[in-house]
Structure 1
């Protein structure tokens, strides 16, 4: 029998009517933002993958199966838009998942957005709509064909019209996120259908990850790149950011979904988190002494094997606080909860530091590892110029650094804004929502509201919400892009943090990396 997964959600006290009234107003505002986005898609891009929020044009970016429609199914249910949901479900009959229009597909994105969306809607409706399960099975069977390789490692950028087997000798290295982020969806499909073939497929990957985890250059962590032919990790870049993130996130979540039956996931999760703490985490050197924590990158020189640490953070890494918080509760690691809180605080700080109140895609910071991090203005200025070895700063050097900081809008301790865009990403609000549900800290709802208002102000467009070109500029232009995760994740998490706590309780549901909740069994 499955082991009991500990109850992890905070026991909330009943809210007063006045408290609930204010929260309901916030929730309503988020719902209106979703309806505006959904109506733009419905009017201009129905059954296409995305709508362009400024021009109103439609796009096919993810297999031409209606990505935004399927990615949004569970959000429609959660927000009580039942008529829109029923209409969308009816349209599923006309979608053929056995044969995409596009000549190749991204297996990872197809799995998390399409299969995840179908399974989540099936769970939330308790199997009421048979078409959801039928289409999930149809898509699962299609994706299984990508595993038809000699060693069972799937093609990830898959030319589906040619059997994957014939491409084995030409397969390139793949990202660890693509390799390790199919377990939740395939496991849930096996649980619902009773057919173990989907779980068996991803178990092959799990065994490889388990076997190789402690033999990489940073034991406990996998580099970004994996060689699917040699079943080795030749990469020299270690990160929990883009190209790696969800592979780590799925370790604790798969443990939960399986009811604790496989200790592989416990072992891998703990090894990974301990290695992150030792090798990747750093404190921000904040002028006000605010406790912030971030995850940097490590790169090895391929010839000398010397390693270099990069004080870099990115919006994608903001998922980490939520992951560590869940792991702290599930695996009874109470000291990790304070780490989770500081990781979340780091992302909140990055939002608050920008003139728009929105965190950019990628930042480099002055920071400290494994030591106290007291503010040092000269160290920050030297870092802007890359002159970190100097102890005394000539006046002209200081002036040059100050001028760069002014021109580039660098507030201390930011060294560089490598990518100033905001792509409507969900990772920060995801972790804030999870931490709120784990701790009951009401201030996190106020933080979420401040973030939502800033995003609303800077990204709203005629047919939805658009990518912000520069988070340092309150008059920044927008880019004509609105990916489906804006509706499936970002707005969902904003809505849930203002919902009653038993709405999708963390003691009953886990969320895949696209924000789709799956029901799990907590057996006593």
Structure 2
């Protein structure tokens, strides 16, 4: 039976009764609500009373059982708000059926975002408050009539009350219920996605405070929808996935006269489509769709779209050196150099395409995808960068580096991430990438690691003027991918206990795990230091002059004293222009890896505390979902009026995985791209091989000419 039928059958008669007996119905509805038990408002107050007082419910957090949302969905379905997509009815019911029924311009720069957005806290007009009350009364009747209380998403138990996540993890809870905590991550995702679905469906950007969307391309790129596909699959959100798939099938086209970032489009769109293809085939029981079934007309939809997109992106590699240009015009199949930095490409961006194109080559048998991205690694390594640490810009024209700036933050980060992940992707059959990773990690120890004063936290600094220049005690939040990546490299995805039993475990492996733990502590401190409990975009640290070497004795405090004058706070420093929080995933990403690999529940608890801070301080009033922050060191914070696509694709996905059983996506079977899209490990087979070798080097790592 169509799950929409019960609502359609009874809606007309129910509304008719309400219209003809409005005043009497209002009284009757109130009485029935009381008789039915605890209302959403009463329940929220009850739970607030049970909370640990250190965590308070903000006034602007939307309720997941807010009656207004369901009634307004009916009204919005007949307005221009949801009429943007190809299927107006899907715009309405695709967003609400999960709650009623249990059926299974320019691209944003991920590495360097602009700063200023207006503040958004505002009071609700009187007419809106009256409307909310009226709609609330109407919906209480409808919910009572249909027995539909408590269903928020496809997989949450109907007995789960609103605000229950705020109770979970309080000081009075004897044992954490990680399954319930995971369900609350799903609630956060559905609230975010439903808000986008309601106000900006099909648009590439979503501004949750102003309730508006914006396109990056004339017909849209699917920026938010495609990026969120595999999250919906993992969360088993069948109806929302159905709506997304319909849009991809009917509306998504890459045949547009539009310039796009080669890197961003690869990691988000190509990676998102390939991951959706992998998960829907490998785990057909998750969010099952008939269109995915073998032999169905739409079986290969994700792969077909991925292949079409890749055929357009691959022209970026048609440079004299083989280093890809920064941008591509999709419709014209035309590569374009960067508009700044003398036309140089970002080093990280040119070397963070390999997982996606190699997996596509494996799926399609089109070897040229493999060859194009592999050539990049040969050219980059052929520069003979000292200690495995590469400058952050490289020319596509001749393949040489531009400048000497070395950092593991923006424009440098994912080069290092993809070294170890390329090694793991092909089941450790390409040792050249492990060799490069080991060389890099030693270079980080020798040149970038130091310790703060007075508490001796471990940090990874920057060398803006090259390795012979001064060390800057600056860490982008982006650098917090490193703890998890170091742990992944040390164990290969096995647990630490399992890896220690292997003959490959060494003192270096032990030291790498210790370094991962220390950096994880530092990154968590970035969150604890801020007023909202959400990290700044950039943090500076107090260090000795000259900086302490990696070998220096150090022991940071194990706990973060909550007192505002605690000694550890002197080590951290956040500048006024860096206080924004973009909903970034790197720290929770590392928490996920550290939990899976070490089994230390501390990392899970830190993640839960972080998740509550997101819920407490980034929620948007009027059912807007969640927003990034312009100032995360102020309470109430200043909202930025933007929901990053990686909030759905990465941050919430990593929270979900952190709170999930460890057999969901085991780390020794997959690799996860830099946009958190899971891809399988595979054997290269006869078609593929490592087509290059490193140039010989001397004892200092310099290429022998």
Equivalent residue for 1:412? 570
Give the direction of change, closer, same or farther, for the CA distance of 1:20–1:31 in structure 2 (3 Å limit).
Answer: farther
* 1:522–1:25 distance in 2 versus 1, CA, 3 Å: farther
State the Cα distance separating 1:317 from its structure 2 match: 0.7
SS in 1 for 2:320: coil
Task: Answer whether contact 1:293 1:342 (CA < 8 A) is retained.
Answer: yes
Label 1:51 to 1:168 Cα distance change in 2 as closer, same or farther (>3 A): closer
In 2: Cα distance, 1:21 partner to 1:324 partner: 28
Matching of residue 334 in structure 1 with residue 510 in structure 2: yes
1:161 Cα offset (Å):
5.4
TM-score computed with the length of structure 1 as normaliser = 0.83
C-alpha separation in 1, matches of 2:614 and 2:176: 23
Q: Work out which of the residue numbers 215, 219, 229 in structure 1 matches 2:387.
A: 219
Distance, in Å, in 2 between the alignment partners of 1:38 and 1:172 is 37
Q: Which residue of 2 aligns with 1:483?
A: 644
Q: Offset at 1:151?
A: 3.0
1:188-222 Cα deviation digits (max 9, x unpaired):
1011112211111101101112222xx33x43110
Consecutive aligned runs of 4 or more in structure 1 exceeding 3 Å deviation:
18-21, 95-98, 159-171, 372-375
Q: SS state of the match for residue 308, structure 1?
A: coil
| CA deviation string 1:434-464 (max 9, x = no partner) | 0100011112111110011011111111322
* Comparing 87-96 and 110-119, the one that deviates more: 87-96
Aligned residue number for residue 444 of structure 1: 603
Map of 1:402 onto structure 2: none
> Equivalent residue for 2:464?
299
Q: How does 1:101-140 map to 2 (within 5 A)?
A: 103-126=258-281, 128=292, 129-140=299-310
Q: CA deviation at 1:139?
A: 0.9
Corresponding residue for 1:150? Answer: 320
Cα RMSD (Å): 2.6
Does the CA-based 8 Å contact 2:355-2:418 persist in structure 1? yes
1:474 to 635, 641, 662: 635
For residues 74-115 of structure 1, give each alpha carbon's deviation from its aligned partner in whole angstroms, at most 9, with x where no partner exists: 0001111022112211221234544235x3111100000000
Indicate whether 1:231 and 2:399 are aligned. Answer: yes
CA–CA separation in structure 2 for the residues paired with 1:153 and 1:299: 23
1:318-467 pair list within 5 angstroms = 318-330=480-492, 332=505, 333-367=509-543, 368-370=547-549, 371-372=552-553, 411-417=569-575, 418-461=577-620, 462-467=623-628
* Count of residues in correspondence between the two structures: 464
Structure 1 residues 438 and 165, CA gap change in structure 2 (3 angstroms): closer
Q: What is residue 343 of structure 2 aligned with on the other side?
A: 172
In 1, the alpha carbon distance for the partners of 2:233 and 2:591 equals 22
Deviations 1:320-357 (A, max 9, x none): 11111111112742320111111111111111122211
CA contact (8 A) 1:220 1:271 kept: yes
Distance of 1:247 and 1:95 partners within structure 2: 34
Q: Residues 211 and 41 (structure 1 numbering): CA distance in 2 closer, same or farther, change over 3 Å? A: same
Checking the alignment, whether the CA contact within 8 Å between 1:286 and 1:374 is kept in structure 2 is no
Query: How big is the shift at 1:156?
Result: 1.2
Cα separation, partners in 2 of 1:475 and 1:412, compared to 1, 3 Å: same
Contact 2:262 2:328 in 1 (8 A): yes
Work out the CA distance in 1 between the residues paired with 2:349 and 2:336: 20
2:667 equivalent among 506, 514, 518: 506
Shift of 1:475: 1.7
| Partner secondary structure for residue 310 of structure 1 | coil
Given the alignment of the two structures, is residue 184 of structure 1 paired with residue 184 of structure 2, yes or no?
A: no
Deviates further, 154-163 or 326-335: 154-163
Deviation string 1:157-194 (CA, Å, 9 cap, x unpaired) is 23445564797999711111111000000011011112
For structure 1, the residue ranges without an aligned partner over 5 or more in a row are 1-17, 376-404
- Give the Å deviation of 1:373: 5.2
Query: In the alignment, is the contact (CA less than 8 A) between 2:464 and 2:470 conserved in 1?
Result: yes
Q: Which has the higher contact order (CA 8 A, sep 6+)?
A: 1
Report the alpha carbon displacement of residue 150 of structure 1 after superposing the two structures with TM. Answer: 3.1
Distance 1:251 1:168, change over 3 A: closer
Structure number with bigger Rg: 2
* SS of 2:403 mapped into structure 1: coil
1:189-204 equivalences under 5 Å are 189-204=360-375
Q: Is the 8 A contact 1:168 1:229 kept in 2?
A: no
Separation (CA, whole Å) in 2 of partners of 1:350 and 1:21: 25
